[in-house]
Amino acid sequence: MDSKTDQEPAGKVASASPEVETPAGTPPAAKPAPPKTAVAAPAARVVAKPVGSLVESAPDPPVNKMRRRIVWSAIAASLVAYFLMFLRFFLPRSILEPSSTFRIGAPGDYALGVDTKWQQQYRIWVTRTSDRLFVIYARCTHLGCTPDWKASENKFKCPCHGSGYDSEGVNFEGPAPRPMDRAYVELDAEGQIRVDLARLYAWPKGEESKFDEKGAYIPL
Ligand code: FES
């Protein structure tokens, strides 16, 4: 065997890569940096908490807090409403109705004929003749509609089924069975006409008229 195979000549570096001869006295070239390789991040460690320790939770976001407040407010409002309705059950109930008695001024405020200024407020007409003043309750005696005053025809005409009444409320056409009722009237201490719709004077069909009774008119 040749001895050259056992010993490397001086100036040669033993390496696995192909040998490169470098002249004697030159510094060795810097070794190339090893290629960077992606290093997997270490797996997160799961630490088991000891039993019985407090579990910390993240605070609720403000949107959740607001929603919770709204829900609770709605529930509280409903409970209050139900409670008030429950209390209302034990309170006496009263129906407020307009008074049947009212004043409509002095007789001198009315001219001869029919005055309709109180129709909307009290559902009455005031009729003045040469010797008396009376108040007609504006309700058709057929089925209860409110007739219209037709000044040009000097009559009341019911829009529902066509009944007609003269200026004193006496029926003369249509299905109305009798004249319209009149309300109680009197002069009070101040000379004002006081009307009471709770006291009506009628002229039932085939019966005697109540229109001449005291209280059915004011004599002039
Ligand atoms: S209600 Fe007036 S005519 Fe029928």
Q: What is the CATH number of the domain that holds 114?
A: 2.102.10.10
Would residue 112 count as lying in a domain? yes
Would residue 5 count as lying in a domain? no
Give me the number of domains the chain comprises.
Answer: 1
For residues 111-126, give the mean pLDDT.
96
Question: What's the pLDDT at 165?
Answer: 98
Model confidence at 167, pLDDT cuts 50, 70, 90, reads very high
Eight-class DSSP state of 130? S
pTM: 0.60
CA dist 159 and 153 (Å) reads 15
Q: How many CB atoms lie within 10 A of CB 12?
A: 11
d(CA 98, ligand 1 centre) in Å: 25
Question: What's the pLDDT at 51?
Answer: 52
**Burial track 58-85 (b if 16+ CB lie within 10 A, e otherwise):** eeeeeeeeeeeeeeeeeeeeeeeeeeee
Average pLDDT score, the chain:
81
Closest protein CA for atom 4 of ligand 1: 161
d(CA 159, ligand 1 centre) in Å: 7
Query: Position of tokens 């609770």?
Result: 72
d(CA 202, ligand 1 centre) in Å: 17
The answer to whether 167 and 153 have CB atoms below 8 angstroms apart is: no
Residue 125, pLDDT > 60, answer yes
d(CA 145, ligand 1 centre) in Å: 6
**Ranges assigned E (strand) in 10-123:** 101-103, 113-115
Our mutation pick for probing the ligand 1 site, out of 139, 155, 160, counting the most ligand atoms within 8 A of Cβ, is: 160
- Rounded percentage of the chain residues whose pLDDT exceeds 90: 62
Residue 56, pLDDT > 90, answer no
Question: What's the pLDDT at 113?
Answer: 96
For residues 45-49, give the mean pLDDT.
52
Ligand 1 neighbours by CB, cut-off 6 Å: 140, 142-145, 158, 160-163, 174-176
Question: What's the pLDDT at 200?
Answer: 97
CA dist 128 and 116 (Å) reads 12
Would residue 151 count as lying in a domain? yes
Would residue 215 count as lying in a domain? yes
Residue 15, pLDDT > 50, answer no
CA dist 215 and 115 (Å) reads 19
- Per the model's pLDDT, the better-predicted residue between 72 and 47 turns out to be 72
- Per the model's pLDDT, the better-predicted residue between 93 and 76 turns out to be 76
For residues 195-212, give the mean pLDDT.
96
For residues 100-128, give the mean pLDDT.
96
d(CA 157, ligand 1 centre) in Å: 9
Would residue 187 count as lying in a domain? yes
Our mutation pick for probing the ligand 1 site, out of 137, 141, 142, 155, counting the most ligand atoms within 8 A of Cβ, is: 142
Nearest to 125 by CA among 195, 204, 198: 195
114 is in which domain, residue-wise? Answer: 101-219
Would residue 173 count as lying in a domain? yes
Residues 66-84: pLDDT tens digits?
Answer: 889 999 999 999 999 999 9
